[in-house]
C-alpha cells in the first residue's frame, strides 16, 4: 500500500472521529434541555393547570359573558355587544355612585392603613420589653375573617358604643354609626384599617430592621433630630416596603367585600355599597349575570391600570432615592 493511500485512510478516520465527537456534545445538550424541560413541566405544570382552571378559564368566560345578556340561570345566552357597557355609563346611577364611593374609600384606607401600620412598626421596633406581645396583639385582627369581623364590629357600633355613650355622655359614642351615610362610611374605614394595619406593620417592621444602625448613629452624632433621621435615612431605606404596602392596600381596598357586606350590607339605602358588593348584587341577586360581568371587567381594568401606574412610579422613586 502506498504512502498516499495510507494518508487518505488516516485522514478519513480522523474526520469520522471528529464528526462523531462533535455530535456527542450536541446530543448531550439536547438531552439535558429535555430533562430540564421535563422537570420544569413536572413542577410548574400542576400549578399552571390549577391556575388555568380556577382563574384563567373563568376570567376568559367572564369576558365573553360581559357582552351578553345571560341571567346566570337559564341556557339562553344572547350576544348584545357593547349594550351592557353603554347602560353602565349612561343609565346605571348606582354603579357610578358605587364606583366613586370605592375610589373615595380606597384613597382614605390606603393613607390611613399605611400611616397606622408604619407608626406601629416604629413603635414595636423600639427596645420595649413588651414589643413581642405588642406585635402579636397588633397582628391578631388580620387573622379574623372579614365576615366575622364585620358582625363583631356591628355589635360594637350598635351596642357597645351605645353603652359607652350612655355611661360617659360623650357625643362621639352616641352617633348613629351604621344608620347614617357619613358615619357608616367611616365605620367601614375604621374596621378595615383596624384589620389591615397589623399586616402592613410586619412588612414595614422587616424593612426597619434592615436599616443600618451605624448610619443612624452617625447622623445622631452629627446632630440630626429624630424627624430628620426618619425623613432622610429611614424613609429612603424602606422605600421598597412602601411599594409593596401600597400595592397590597390598593388591591385590598378596591376589592373590599366581606366587611362591607356584614357591617352595613350597603346601607343605609345603598349609600355605602362598594363596587364589589354592587357587582355581587347585580349578578347573583338581580340575576343579571352579563351586566355583572361587564361591571367586573371594568373593575378589573381600572384596578390593573392603577396598580401598574403605582408600581412603576414607586419603583422609579426607589431608584432615585
| Residue 198 and residue 225 in one domain | yes
| Residue 240 and residue 306 in one domain | yes
Specify the 3-state DSSP secondary structure of 246.
helix
**Quick check: is 74 in a domain?**
no
Confidence of residue 281 (pLDDT cuts 50, 70, 90): very high
Lowest mean pLDDT among 165-174, 192-201, 266-275, 310-319: 310-319
Residues of the domain holding 61: 1-65
Burial of 263 (0-12, 13-18, 19+ CB in 10 A): buried
Average pLDDT value over all residues in the chain = 86
Does the reported pTM lie above 0.95? no
Selection from 98-102, 166-170, 227-231 with the highest mean pLDDT? 98-102
End-to-end CA separation in angstroms for the chain: 81
Whether residue 131 has pLDDT greater than 70:
yes
- Nearest CA-CA partner of 249 in 68, 115, 64, 49: 115
Q: What pLDDT score was predicted for residue 7?
A: 41
Average pLDDT over residues 129-146: 86
> How far is residue 247's CA from residue 250's CA, in Å, rounded to a whole number?
5
Whether residue 73 has pLDDT greater than 70:
yes
| Residue 283 and residue 237 in one domain | yes
Question: Which residue has cell 388580620?
Answer: 142
All three cell numbers of 310, joined, read 403605582
Q: What pLDDT score was predicted for residue 292?
A: 94
**Quick check: is 117 in a domain?**
yes
**Quick check: is 232 in a domain?**
yes
What's the structural domain count of the chain? 2
Q: What pLDDT score was predicted for residue 34?
A: 81
Confidence of residue 318 (pLDDT cuts 50, 70, 90): low
Helices (H), the chain: 3-51, 57-65, 83-90, 93-124, 131-139, 146-155, 161-168, 181-208, 213-221, 226-229, 235-237, 239-254, 258-263, 275-280, 289-320
Amino acid at each position: 500500500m502506498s504512502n498516499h493511500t495510507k494518508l487518505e485512510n488516516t485522514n478519513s478516520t480522523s474526520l469520522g472521529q471528529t464528526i462523531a465527537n462533535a455530535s456527542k456534545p450536541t446530543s448531550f445538550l439536547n438531552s439535558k434541555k429535555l430533562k430540564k424541560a421535563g422537570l420544569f413541566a413536572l413542577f410548574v405544570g400542576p400549578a399552571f393547570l390549577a391556575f388555568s382552571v380556577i382563574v384563567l378559564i373563568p376570567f376568559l368566560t367572564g369576558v365573553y359573558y360581559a357582552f351578553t345578556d345571560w341571567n346566570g340561570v337559564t341556557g339562553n345566552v344572547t350576544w348584545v355587544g357593547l349594550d351592557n357597557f353603554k347602560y353602565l355609563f349612561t343609565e346605571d346611577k348606582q354603579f357610578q355612585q358605587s364606583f366613586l364611593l370605592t375610589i373615595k374609600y380606597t384613597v382614605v384606607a390606603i393613607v390611613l392603613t399605611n400611616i397606622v401600620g408604619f407608626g406601629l412598626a416604629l413603635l414595636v421596633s423600639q427596645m420595649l420589653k413588651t414589643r413581642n406581645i405588642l406585635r402579636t396583639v397588633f397582628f391578631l385582627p388580620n387573622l379574623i375573617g372579614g365576615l366575622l369581623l364585620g358582625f363583631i364590629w356591628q355589635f360594637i357600633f350598635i351596642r357597645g358604643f351605645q353603652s359607652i355613650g350612655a355611661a360617659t355622655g360623650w357625643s362621639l359614642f352616641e352617633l348613629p354609626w351604621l344608620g347614617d351615610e357619613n358615619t357608616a362610611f367611616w365605620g367601614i374605614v375604621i374596621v378595615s384599617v383596624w384589620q389591615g394595619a397589623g399586616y402592613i406593620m410586619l412588612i414595614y417592621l422587616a424593612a426597619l430592621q434592615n436599616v443600618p444602625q451605624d448610619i443612624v448613629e452617625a447622623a445622631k452624632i452629627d446632630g440630626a433630630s429624630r424627624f430628620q433621621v426618619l425623613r432622610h435615612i429611614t424613609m429612603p431605606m424602606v422605600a421598597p416596603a412602601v411599594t409593596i404596602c401600597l400595592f397590597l392596600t390598593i388591591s385590598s381596598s378596591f376589592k373590599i367585600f366581606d366587611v362591607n357586606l356584614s357591617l352595613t350590607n350597603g346601607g343605609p339605602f345603598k349609600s355605602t355599597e362598594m363596587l364589589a358588593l354592587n357587582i355581587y348584587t347585580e349578578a347573583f341577586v338581580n340575576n343579571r349575570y352579563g351586566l355583572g360581568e361587564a361591571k367586573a371587567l371594568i373593575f378589573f381594568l381600572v384596578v390593573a391600570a392603577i396598580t401598574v401606574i403605582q408600581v412603576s412610579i414607586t419603583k422609579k422613586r426607589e431608584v432615585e432615592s
